[in-house]
Amino acid sequence: MTGNQSRNGLLKVILLSGLLVGTLDMTAACINAHLSFGLSPDRVFKYIASGILGKNAFSGGIGVAALGVIMHYLVAYSWTALFFIAYPKTNLIRQNKYLTGTFYGMLIWTVMNLLVVPLTKVPKPKNGFNVTQAYINAGILIVAIGIPLSFIAYKYYFSKLQLKR
């Protein structure tokens, strides 16, 4: 297999994996927002868009919601690409896939909530930090992104190791 074929294979797996985990995460976030707060998916996507637009995002229409969806997938693809780039450079291939996924989901939650979101225009919560929602949101990232990526990357890189033998 040439370097180009290998890069194309990796790009394809990143694109498909990012679509999968982005959709799983978005679906779980919308279900959680509806069950916990009675919010519609439209409101969830406007919340994401508020990272750029601030409070004005909530009075926007379908275009603002679409911007939120695009932003969500850009973030999901970024985390997916990072995982696939870091995976072969670590010993994760020999570790427990569930622990790897749990660690990655918690890493995503930590970086997004303590670094990325505070640097955006997302309005601060009126009631402050909600521990229950933090656990739920971390769990969503573990189950919807971390663990699926761990299994997909293991399968992708393990098959590459088998071909080399």
The more confident residue out of 5 and 52 is 52
Question: Is 87 within the bounds of a domain?
Answer: yes
Comparing 49-53, 108-112, 120-124, which segment has the lowest mean pLDDT? 120-124
Percentage of the chain exceeding pLDDT 90:
81
Whole-number Cα distances in Å, 6 to 1, 17, 20, 87: 7, 16, 21, 15
Does the pLDDT at position 64 exceed 90? yes
Q: What is the span of the domain harbouring residue 93?
A: 3-41+74-121+128-164
Q: How far is residue 60's CA from residue 156's CA, in Å, rounded to a whole number?
A: 41
| Arithmetic mean of pLDDT over the chain | 92
pLDDT band at residue 161 under the 50/70/90 scheme: low
Most confident of 3-12, 90-99, 145-154: 145-154
> How many domains would you assign to the chain?
1
Does the pLDDT at position 4 exceed 80? no
Instruction: Report the pLDDT value the prediction gives residue 92, as an integer from 0 to 100.
Output: 65
Does the pLDDT at position 165 exceed 70? no
Question: Is 46 within the bounds of a domain?
Answer: no
Q: How far is residue 38's CA from residue 3's CA, in Å, rounded to a whole number?
A: 49
Question: Is 27 within the bounds of a domain?
Answer: yes
Question: Is 59 within the bounds of a domain?
Answer: no
Does the pLDDT at position 68 exceed 80? yes
pLDDT band at residue 86 under the 50/70/90 scheme: very high
pLDDT band at residue 126 under the 50/70/90 scheme: confident
Instruction: Report the pLDDT value the prediction gives residue 90, as an integer from 0 to 100.
Output: 87
Question: Is 52 within the bounds of a domain?
Answer: no
